[in-house]
Amino acid sequence: MNEKKQVDKTHYEFYRYMSKGRWASLWHQLDEVIQLKPSNVLEVGPGPGAFKQMAILFGLAVETIDLDPDLKPDHVGSATALPFADASYDVVCAFQMLEHLPYEITLQAFAEMVRVSRRHVVISLPDARPVWQYRFHVPKFGTHALLFPRPIMKQPEHVFDGEHYWEINKQGYELARVTNDFCRVCPLVRTYRVFENPYHRLFVFKCQGKEKGSGY
């Protein structure tokens, strides 16, 4: 497949791209990766580079790869043919990137991420299912945040908008189907939606049999 960039670097201007919800998603991305205590990390499709810059502040060694040299990634290349040896990085991640590929190509790119990871793959994807957000405080038990799916008559059909080829919980891309397809490649540890930005759903996968003695 001849992959082409969909947007130029102006797409990532601060007020155009970095909403408060996206900052919340960035916190969860960092939290998930930092918990894994990786010696090195590869981010596929870094966008404006916010994850890498923040991760460096907290002691992570992050390299990036993207098709677009204007974004100044560490490596220029395709997500479907990563130019790295097997098990090159402890963690490989891609945040709100894989939906920019047709679904079958997404699965190929995910398999490449698993191939070059020693331990974990962390991704986020758009989840289109509408939800209600509730936050409540219980004395002595703290504050709790819950998401409840809103009832819908049927799942909406996805229409390519120039960027997203598909989204979770659009017709044909039910959460169960997407999860099962990814789990055929790599076992899932957990998935959840970001409370402050439920359009973003995170997934953490563990690459089995690549590193002996890991507690993660």
57-112 confidence digits (pLDDT tens): 999 999 999 999 999 999 999 999 999 999 999 999 999 999 999 999 999 999 99
204 within 8 A of 191, measured Cβ to Cβ: yes
Domain 9-206 indexed as CATH 3.40.50.150: yes
121-175 confidence digits (pLDDT tens): 999 999 999 999 998 888 888 888 898 888 888 889 999 999 999 999 999 999 9
pLDDT on residue 14? 63
Chain centroid to Cα 106, Å, comes to: 12
Could you give the count of Cα atoms lying within 13 Å of 139 in the half-sphere of its Cβ?
A: 0
Could you give the count of Cα atoms lying within 13 Å of 52 in the half-sphere of its Cβ?
A: 21
Q: Identify the H or E element spanning 205.
A: strand 197-206
Confidence of residue 209 (pLDDT cuts 50, 70, 90): low
Q: φ, ψ for residue 138 (rounded to 5)?
A: -115, 120
Q: φ, ψ for residue 131 (rounded to 5)?
A: -135, 160
Could you give the count of Cα atoms lying within 13 Å of 132 in the half-sphere of its Cβ?
A: 5
pLDDT on residue 216? 36
Nearest in space to 123 (alpha carbons), one of 54, 32, 19: 32
Confidence of residue 214 (pLDDT cuts 50, 70, 90): very low
Residue 188 has what DSSP assignment?
Answer: E
**pTM of the complete model beyond 0.75:** yes
145 within 8 A of 197, measured Cβ to Cβ: no
CA of 100: how far to CAs of 60, 139, 163, 166, 176, in Å? 26, 44, 6, 8, 20
SS3 percent helix, strand, coil of the chain, rounded to 5, is 30, 30, 45
